[in-house]
Amino acid sequence: MTKHLPANERRAITVDAVVELAAQQNPNEITTAAIAKHMGVSQGALFKHFSSKEAILQAVMEWVAEVLLSRIDAAARHAPTPIAALEAMFIAHIEFIAEHSGVPRIMFGELQRSGQTAPKRLVQTIMTRYRKRLYSLLENAKNNHEVDEQLDIDTAITMFVGTIQGLVVQSLLSDNIQHIHHQAPQVFAIYLRGIGGKK
C-alpha cells in the first residue's frame, strides 16, 4: 500500500504509524521493525527515508509542533477576549490529544530520556513556544482586568500546562482517553476560578 508513494507522503504515513502504535504500547518499546510492519513495508524501505528510530521520532515531534501549535493558534484567533482565547486553546489541545492519544505518551517518554536528543530538544522547543503564547494571553487578560491583578503569570502558565497533563495522566490510568472530552470544560472552569478569571 505504501510501497510506491513519494518521500513526503511516506514520511507522513510513518509519523501516523508511530503515533498509532504509541497509543497501544510503550513508545520506548516500539521498534523500527514494528513501525515497518504496521506500514506494510520492509525495514529497508523505512531506512530509505530515516536514518534511525531517533530520526523518526524527530519527524513525529516536528509534526506535533506544526499541527498542535497551528490548531491552538486557529482556536484562539477569533476569540473575543484573552480569557475566551485561553479556553479555546485549552479545548483545542484536549481535542488534539483525544484524536492522537499516542502523542503525550511519546512526549512524556522523550522528556524522561537522559541526556539531550533531537526529539527531546523538539519537545522542549514546543513547550517554550506554547508557553510564550500563554504568557501573551495571560498578560493581556491581566491588563484587561479579566484575571486577578496580582496574578503571577509564570505560575498560571504552569497550572495551565499541568492541568492538561493531569487530565492526560488520568485518562491513561483509566485507559479511556475520550473521557477527557467530558472533563475538560469543568476542569477549565476550576482553573479559571483559580486565577481569578472572569468570562
CA count, 13 A, side-chain hemisphere, 122 = 21
What is the per-residue pLDDT across 29-83, written as a single tens digit (0 to 9) for each? 999 999 999 998 888 888 888 888 889 999 999 999 999 999 999 999 999 999 9
| Residue scoring higher pLDDT (174 or 153) | 153
Q: Which of 4, 141, 16 is nearest to 67 (CA)?
A: 16
What's the predicted TM-score (pTM) here? Answer: 0.89
Q: What is the pLDDT of residue 131?
A: 96
- The domains located in the chain, with CATH, are 53-194 (1.10.357.10)
- Is 182 in contact with 174 (CB distance < 8 Å)? no
Q: pLDDT category, 3, cuts 50, 70, 90?
A: low
- Per the CB < 8 A criterion, the answer to whether 142 and 81 are in contact is no
Ramachandran region, residue 175 (left: φ > 0; alpha: ψ -120 to 50; beta: rest): left
DSSP 114: S
What does the alpha-carbon distance between residue 22 and residue 26 come to, in Å, rounded to a whole number?
6
The tens digit of pLDDT for each residue in 80-128 reads 999 999 999 999 999 999 999 899 989 888 888 888 888 888 888 999 9
pLDDT at 19 over 70: yes
Burial class (CB in 10 A: 0-12, 13-18, 19+), 104: buried
pLDDT at residue number 134 = 97
CB 30 within 8 A of CB 60: no
Dihedral of the CA atoms 101, 160, 122, 176 (nearest 10)?
-10
pLDDT band at 1 (very low <50, low <70, confident <90, very high): very low
Cell numbers describing residue 106: 511519546
**Using CA atoms, how far apart are residues 19 and 102, in angstroms rounded to an integer?**
5
